[in-house]
Structure 1
Amino acid sequence: MNIFARVAVAATLLVLLTPAITAVAEEKEDAKTGTHGTFIDEKLKVGRQERLYRLMVPKLLDLKKPAALVVAFHGMGIDSSKVMPYYTKLDNLAAEKKFILVYPEAVGRSWGIDPKKVTADLAFFDALVAEISNRYEVDSNRIYVLGMSNGGYFAHLVGKERSTKVAAVCSHSGPLGLQTILGINAERKFPVMIVHGDKDFLFNVKIARDNRDKYQREKHEVKYVEVPGLNHFWAVDAKINGQIWEFFEKHPLK
């Protein structure tokens, strides 16, 4: 089964595996404030398309000081910018570490599946970073991307295509795509963190190990975390969020 067939399967499985998460997201869809900060559901015109995103600004963020920006790409199918906060608990991390967190929304519930979509999604990323940087004091040396599953695949791709803008990348349960599998060939050897469960039913852990080896062969700094017993889910119980932030903090752009 190739990567795109696997991603299509993921969409179906997510429908079956995340009903509770979906219910929580629907209940809180209109909420603008929460325990950890302010949620802002926004629209952004990119070319002829109107794109959506959810922005989380921590309550205790000092708006006068440059802050790190983390862009979190959701998975395929039922996953979305409104669902991802609930299963990843990244809002808690943003509140604790005081960084700006944004969840972009994919068109058609998937990221960069074909060349035309890759171009549009990269343009969205560029416009989103520019928009948030215009509104807040963003530290341009601390812009990070992460993603889950299909979002993890796209995080790899953003790292490759925007290596001089993105300080570091984390892919959780997401493989390298066809655009990178033959050669990463990034302008800058960006640091990358790969998180994968050894019981992942969708993308076998061997894929993650191969991706790790590929990055290392191309002289990237790699942090590889293999979570025992984890299936195709976010590793909340493994306290992975703290490890992700520790990795990001150690790797500013300059």
Structure 2
Amino acid sequence: MIMWRKFEGMKTVQLICIKMSCIMLFFVSGYAKGTQEEHTMQFGEEKTTYLLHLPKGYIQGKAYSLVVNFHGLGSAAIKHQHYCQLDAVADKEGFIAVYPQSYHQGWNAGLGFTSYIQGHDDIAYFNALLDTLEAAYSIDKNRIYVTGVSLGGSFTYRIACEMSKRIAAIASVSGLMSDSTLIYCTPERSVPVMHIHGTKDHIMRYTGMKQAFGAEEVVRLWALKDQCENKPDTVFVPNTSKKDHTSSILIKYTHCANGSEVWFYKIYNGGHTWPGAAKAFKLMGRKSKDFNGSQAIWDFFETFTLQTGVSMQTRK
């Protein structure tokens, strides 16, 4: 979610979104090798839209993995699609990418002005969207994944908690988990989780903020929830770009319940950004160029299915 500390700077951040939106208009998609589609979907009284990217060579009848990617507060699906450049990975790896457009500017992750219980029912909306996609396209129901940035990243945690029987794994980029999400979090399996966060993120603060846990605390909470051994491995990400003034490590909890894992990319000096993405507004902070965030997310996702995190006894 795009917020300022204690939410007192919401107008400032929305201005950032507007300026960033203008910047995004200058980018032309150079990776649209597959098929680009824009669709509308009726959800209650709301007419919603989403963007869909079919990989090059898509064949109806062949089961494809699906990655749903949520934009941040005040942003838009088209801008986020161009920014994170996930479509290039979708074409390379052969999965379907979908970018929902919020009908109320953001997603109900229980942060800021969104009420977890009485706010917009985005979980019902997302279930309806998946129903629509599964009816129209050849989607492998065991390989549906979600990711998102900022508030979109925060929303993925709510999805993991409430839709664990439908979502194979999640990845949050610069998005914290709200305290209300934790309170109501009762996943029915151990959900694989990836978290990517910059230590100098001044919007979704790395150390946490009102109503939201800090990045390291979020990772520890999911490591506990997934029953991981308390001895993660740490891998140093090659610092291939000296000019970005960042460096990264990958903390991996690989010994978790029933094959689940929790990964954490910690980006030193990184801001409120998506690693390896298109150029963003400078006020968002530094962006790591040492690794491609979209590729890293897919490399994590493709390891897991809905059977991950399910005990053998439950499977029977």
Q: Say yes or no: TM over 0.5.
A: yes
Residue 240 of structure 1 corresponds to 293
Is 1:110 matched with 2:96? Answer: no
Cα distance change of structure 1 residues 3 and 50 upon mapping to structure 2, 3 Å threshold: farther
Equivalent-residue separation in structure 1 for 2:124 and 2:226 (angstroms): 27
RMSD: 2.2
Q: Is 1:51–1:124's contact at 8 Å kept on the other side of the alignment?
A: no
Equivalent-residue separation in structure 2 for 1:87 and 1:40 (angstroms): 17
More displaced 10-residue stretch of structure 1: 171-180 or 109-118: 109-118
Is 1:86 matched with 2:82? Answer: yes
Residue 46 of structure 2 corresponds to 49
Q: Which AA in structure 2 matches 1:231?
A: G
Superposed CA offset, 1:94-130 (max 9, x none) = 11111111100112211112234442x1122111111
Residue 202 of structure 2 corresponds to 201
Q: Is 2:53–2:87's contact at 8 Å kept on the other side of the alignment?
A: yes
Q: Is 2:191–2:226's contact at 8 Å kept on the other side of the alignment?
A: no
Residue 38 of structure 1 corresponds to 35
Equivalent-residue separation in structure 1 for 2:33 and 2:137 (angstroms): 18
Unaligned 5+ segments in structure 1 are none
More displaced 10-residue stretch of structure 1: 48-57 or 110-119: 110-119
* Structure-2-length-normalised TM-score: 0.72
Which secondary structure state, in structure 1, belongs to the residue aligned with residue 171 of structure 2? strand
The alpha carbon displacement at 1:198 in A equals 1.5
The equivalent position to 1:76 in structure 2, one of 73, 77, 95, is: 73
The alpha carbon displacement at 1:241 in A equals 1.6
Which secondary structure state, in structure 2, belongs to the residue aligned with residue 109 of structure 1? coil
Equivalent-residue separation in structure 1 for 2:10 and 2:176 (angstroms): 10
Equivalent-residue separation in structure 2 for 1:34 and 1:40 (angstroms): 14
Which secondary structure state, in structure 2, belongs to the residue aligned with residue 96 of structure 1? helix
The alpha carbon displacement at 1:35 in A equals 2.9
More displaced 10-residue stretch of structure 1: 226-235 or 1-10: 1-10
Q: How many residues align?
A: 246
Work out which of the two has the higher radius of gyration on C-alpha atoms and give 1 or 2: 2
Map residues 6-25 of structure 1 onto 2, 5 A cutoff.
10-24=13-27
The equivalent position to 1:228 in structure 2, one of 259, 264, 268, is: 268
Q: Which AA in structure 2 matches 1:217?
A: L
The alpha carbon displacement at 1:183 in A equals 5.8
Aligned identity (percent) is 29
Q: Is 1:72–1:101's contact at 8 Å kept on the other side of the alignment?
A: yes
Q: Is 1:173–1:203's contact at 8 Å kept on the other side of the alignment?
A: yes
Equivalent-residue separation in structure 2 for 1:66 and 1:7 (angstroms): 42
Equivalent-residue separation in structure 2 for 1:111 and 1:240 (angstroms): 22
Superposed CA offset, 1:151-198 (max 9, x none) = 001111111110110000000000102322336322222111000012
Cα distance change of structure 1 residues 241 and 34 upon mapping to structure 2, 3 Å threshold: closer
Q: Is 1:10–1:76's contact at 8 Å kept on the other side of the alignment?
A: no
Equivalent-residue separation in structure 1 for 2:22 and 2:268 (angstroms): 25
